[in-house]
Structures are given as C-alpha cells and as structure tokens.
Amino acid sequence: MNSSWGSWAFVFVAAVNTCIGNLLLKQSRLKSTDSGLLSLLLSPWFLGGLVFYGINVVLFAKALEKLPVSTAYPVFAGVGFGLIAISGTWLFKEHFSQNHLVGLAMILAGIIIMSRS
C-alpha cells in the first residue's frame, strides 16, 4: 500500500473515531440521571468517548507523518462533520434539514478542492 494511501486511511479512521467519540459523549448526557461533574466523569459512555478521542489523536498524528496538516485536517474535520450529522440524525433523531445537506455538500466540495495537489 502506498504510504500516502495509508496516511489517508489513518485520517479517515481518525474521523470515524471522532464521530464515535462524539456520539458516546451525547449518549453519556442522555443516560445521565445526575448533572454533576463526578457523574459525568464516571459515566461509561463518557469514558468510552475519551478512549475513542485518544485513539483518534494517535491515528491523526500518524497520518501527519506523511501528509501536510493544511490538507489532512480539513479532510479529517469534513469527514467527521458529515458522519456526525448523519449519525446524530439516525441514532438520536436529531433534525436534518435541507440547509444541513447543502452545508455538507459545500464541505465536501471544499475537501475536494483542498486535497487536490
């Protein structure tokens, strides 16, 4: 596998981990019966989110060994935004409007433009 392709795979998997981490944080707040800080910190959903964020940092750092941050980060953020918007709608029944769709299309267009050499 080309090292650049491998680095892009790290970016994509890191974005997926960011999405999972955010979804777990949301779930930690939905399942909480207490709004205290200790309840948050001891929630298994919250702790799971932190684990996925940690994995994300390692994978993204690995990707930056071969990719410029000015290209890798917009792709990472855009993929993450898209996955979170779709997953939040599907899992938590959050509102997804036509404006969301247009925004995601614009992000995708920006990613394509920014990632072209």
pTM of structure: 0.83
pLDDT digits (tens, 9 = 90+) for 24-50: 999 998 887 777 777 778 889 999 999
Q: Are 28 and 81 in contact (CB under 8 A)?
A: no
pLDDT, the chain, mean:
88
